[in-house]
Amino acid sequence: MGERVDGDGESGLAGLGRTLRYLREKDGKSLGQLADVTGYDKSYLSRLESGKRLSKMVVMEDLDRYYGSGDLLVQLWKVARYDAFMDKYKEFMRLEAAARVMHKFTPGVPGLLQTEDFAREVVSGPQATEERDEAIEEQVAARMGRQLLLRRDPAPHVRFIIDEYAFRRPAATAKTWDDQLLRIEAVAMWPNVVLQVLPFATGAHLHMDGSMTLLWQKDGSTVAYKEGNAGGVLTDDPDAVLSHRLSYDRLRDLALSPSDSLTFIRDVLEEHRS
């Protein structure tokens, strides 16, 4: 599994923290001295080294430059980000990261398309505590890191079908929603992405209760992942995968065309700004 970095079962987050501490001590710096030269808070750096916090990737890029460690910390961060997700989701993420073709249906804005501010709003809970805030930032950082798979080389071919519901429940702030719509519009024009909107007019359908993903690997194998309020189910059973594929094809046929979907998104953006 991608979240393990050695045979002793050390988590990716712990391995990253251990490496951060090693590089700092090798450089002869205390946490306070490192904080002074990098501009990052001492307590924040301490939590990173203890494996209690997942940073944003840009922090690892900064520290890689400071230590002259190439992209070592960035690569360890890519492993560590899996620890921010529940165990049942990690195998799906591993397969998703290697998939050559992805077909996704979501009732809301897909995590792969969310801006940082929108993602933070989605994962935030009603209680604001220091511990809760740290957990939220960890989930947001992991979600932003997951989006890197859309730009890997070779880039996967991705089709998104997004329910109209996603565009009728805006973010709490106008700027967050504006930025989110612009993000969806931009990705919809990428050459490796096809995006379609499923309008309300299509009526009830099988996947109203959650999201569904189909993943094709380089070797031609396929898995399906269905996620709803009761949790997620990952399957490679041929009959189950075929059933999900046929239901996805049905949604694709009912959805707006890619060009009409882009027009729909721009209309929603115009309505929002008016």
Task: For the chain, list the domains and their CATH numbers.
Answer: 12-82 (1.10.260.40), 86-273 (3.30.870)
User: At CA 88, angle to CA 87 and CA 89, rounded to 5?
Assistant: 90
Q: Which two tokens stand for residue 61?
A: 């890029």
Task: For residue range 66-81, list pLDDT tens digits in order.
Answer: 999 999 999 898 888 7
Question: What is the C-alpha separation between 62 and 44, in angstroms, rounded?
Answer: 14
Give the confidence band of 244 by pLDDT, cuts at 50, 70, 90.
very high
Q: How many residues does the chain have?
A: 274
Contact of 228 with 105, CB cutoff 8 Å: no
Q: Which two tokens stand for residue 210?
A: 């959650």
Give the confidence band of 6 by pLDDT, cuts at 50, 70, 90.
very low
Question: What is the C-alpha separation between 131 and 143, in angstroms, rounded?
Answer: 19
Question: What is the C-alpha separation between 187 and 80, in angstroms, rounded?
Answer: 26
- How far from the centroid of its chain's Cα atoms is residue 83's Cα? 13
Task: For residue range 12-52, list pLDDT tens digits in order.
Answer: 888 899 999 999 999 999 999 999 999 999 988 998 998 87
Q: What is the mean pLDDT of the chain?
A: 88
| Cα dihedral across residues 225, 226, 227, 232: positive or negative | negative
Task: For residue range 245-274, list pLDDT tens digits in order.
Answer: 999 999 999 999 999 999 999 999 999 998
Contact of 24 with 66, CB cutoff 8 Å: no
Sequence-separated (6 or more) residues with CB below 8 Å from residue 9: none
Closest by CA to 250, choosing from 215, 210, 204, is 204
User: At CA 230, angle to CA 181 and CA 169, rounded to 5?
Assistant: 20
pLDDT of residue 54: 78
Question: What is the C-alpha separation between 14 and 45, in angstroms, rounded?
Answer: 14
**Cβ–Cβ contacts within 10 Å for residue 237, how many?**
11
Q: Which two tokens stand for residue 8?
A: 């002793």
Task: For residue range 168-204, list pLDDT tens digits in order.
Answer: 999 989 999 999 999 999 999 999 999 999 999 998 8
